[in-house]
């Protein structure tokens, strides 16, 4: 018996040099359930994680952009219809949290291109990305309290680290949404742009990152993320180790020699 085909939940555009790909070395993942504001049901999460892991292992890809289909949302959160009758047992069996853990472990940088709503799990997904390009109509928030629960994929931790306790408490305890302008002023957003410029700006930012030496990019991502987890002393130690390690790479020799010789570097990714 053949397995029924999984329903389509995301689009993946692989990087291709030249005009066929979105941008050289940049992959684009589009959450594709616009009829429910790209709500993240378990099949969407499964397909998203599968795509991210594939791209993480693909040398042709050096940066990933995630966006939402349609005009209205990046993602309006976990799928409430699917979740409504869940029990601790059913959630544990699906192993929802393992999927989020996989996203956290992706080594290549991820850019979120956020138009419209990024709520609940959608806000948590944007915050799990490394860079956030937001449209001026983007709306961030953790409204789970209004559903009788709390954020479950990092919202209480990442929002608090991004905004500080006072603001995070307000948003999480009242479910108030954070408009894009305020999100940018408070450091949740890398770049605020006009709505129609969101995806091009995210792809452009991803292309800038993808043009950097890949090993150093991964080491930098890892080190910055450690700043949220380690003491300053342990974080500085971690940074130093990665710094030293990069002196064993061909790209370090190439980058510094190119500077001295006043020419553009040619990166090899090793």
Pairing of strands 131-135, 73-75: unpaired
* CB count in 10 Å sphere of residue 57: 10
Part in contact with ligand HXC (CB under 6 A); list of ranges 33-41, 158-166, 182-190, 191-199: 33-41
Please, what is the minimum distance in Å from the beta carbon of residue 100 to ligand HXC?
6
178 scored as a contact of ligand HXC (CB under 6 A): no
Q: What's the chain's length in residues?
A: 270
Please, what is the minimum distance in Å from the beta carbon of residue 101 to ligand HXC?
11
Within residues 67-96, the interface with ligand HXC by CB under 6 A covers 76-81, 96
Q: Pseudo-torsion of CA 57, 59, 60, 63, nearest 10°?
A: 70
Cβ closest to ligand HXC, residue 91 vs residue 258? 91
213 scored as a contact of ligand HXC (CB under 6 A): no
CA dihedral sign of residues 221, 224, 230, 231: positive
Cβ closest to ligand HXC, residue 32 vs residue 79? 79
Q: How far apart are CA 177 and CA 64, in angstroms?
A: 27
Residue of 77, 112, 113, 124 with catalytic role:
124
Q: How far apart are CA 103 and CA 42, in angstroms?
A: 14
Residue 246: name the closest of 216, 220, 212 by CA: 216
| Contact between residue 123 and residue 140 where contact means Cβ atoms under 8 Å apart | yes
Catalytic site includes residue 78: yes
183 scored as a contact of ligand HXC (CB under 6 A): no
Part in contact with ligand HXC (CB under 6 A); list of ranges 36-44, 128-136, 202-210, 224-232: 36-44
Residue 105: name the closest of 159, 60, 63, 49 by CA: 49
Binding mask 145-164 for ligand HXC (x = CB under 6 A): --x----xx-----------
The token pair that represents 257 in the structure block:
């020699």
What are the distances in angstroms from CA 86 to CA 36, 45, 80, 83, 96? 19, 16, 10, 5, 12
Cβ closest to ligand HXC, residue 24 vs residue 41? 41
Catalytic site includes residue 248: no
Catalytic site includes residue 124: yes
119 scored as a contact of ligand HXC (CB under 6 A): yes
The token pair that represents 144 in the structure block:
């789970």
Catalytic site includes residue 207: no
DSSP bridge pairs for 65: 28, 111
Residue of 39, 144, 201, 220 with catalytic role:
144
Selected from 15, 109, 121, 213, the binder of ligand HXC by CB under 6 A is: 121
Residue 133: name the closest of 55, 68, 177 by CA: 68
Cβ closest to ligand HXC, residue 67 vs residue 96? 96
Name the site residues for ligand HXC (rule: CB under 6 A).
36-37, 39, 76-81, 96, 117, 119-121, 143-144, 147, 152-153
| Catalytic residue set | 78, 121, 124, 144
């Amino acid at each position: 018996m053949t397995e029924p085909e999984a329903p389509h939940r995301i689009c993946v555009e692989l990087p291709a040099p030249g005009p066929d790909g979105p941008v050289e070395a940049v992959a684009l993942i589009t959450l594709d359930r616009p009829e429910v504001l790209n709500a993240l049901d378990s099949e969407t999460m499964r397909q998203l994680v599968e795509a991210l892991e594939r791209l993480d292992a693909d040398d042709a890809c050096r940066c990933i952009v995630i966006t939402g289909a349609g005009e209205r949302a990046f993602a309006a959160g976990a799928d409430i219809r699917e979740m409504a009758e869940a029990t601790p047992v059913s959630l544990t069996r699906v192993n929802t949290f393992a999927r989020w853990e996989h996203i956290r472990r992706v080594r290549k940088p991820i850019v979120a291109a956020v138009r419209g709503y990024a709520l609940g799990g959608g806000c948590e997904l944007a915050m799990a990305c490394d860079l956030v390009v937001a449209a001026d109509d983007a709306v961030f928030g953790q409204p789970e309290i209004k559903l009788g629960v709390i954020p479950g994929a990092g919202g209480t931790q990442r929002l608090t680290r991004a905004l500080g306790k006072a603001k995070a408490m307000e948003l999480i305890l009242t479910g108030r949404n954070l408009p894009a302008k305020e999100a940018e002023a408070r450091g949740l957003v890398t770049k605020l742009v006009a709505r129609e410029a969101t995806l091009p700006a995210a792809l452009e930012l991803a292309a800038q990152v993808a043009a950097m030496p890949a090993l150093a990019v991964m080491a930098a991502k890892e080190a910055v993320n450690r700043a949220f987890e380690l003491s300053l002393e342990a974080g500085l130690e971690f940074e130093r180790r990665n710094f030293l390690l990069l002196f064993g790479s061909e790209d370090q020799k190439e980058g510094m020699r190119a500077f001295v010789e006043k020419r553009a570097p040619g990166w090899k990714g090793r």
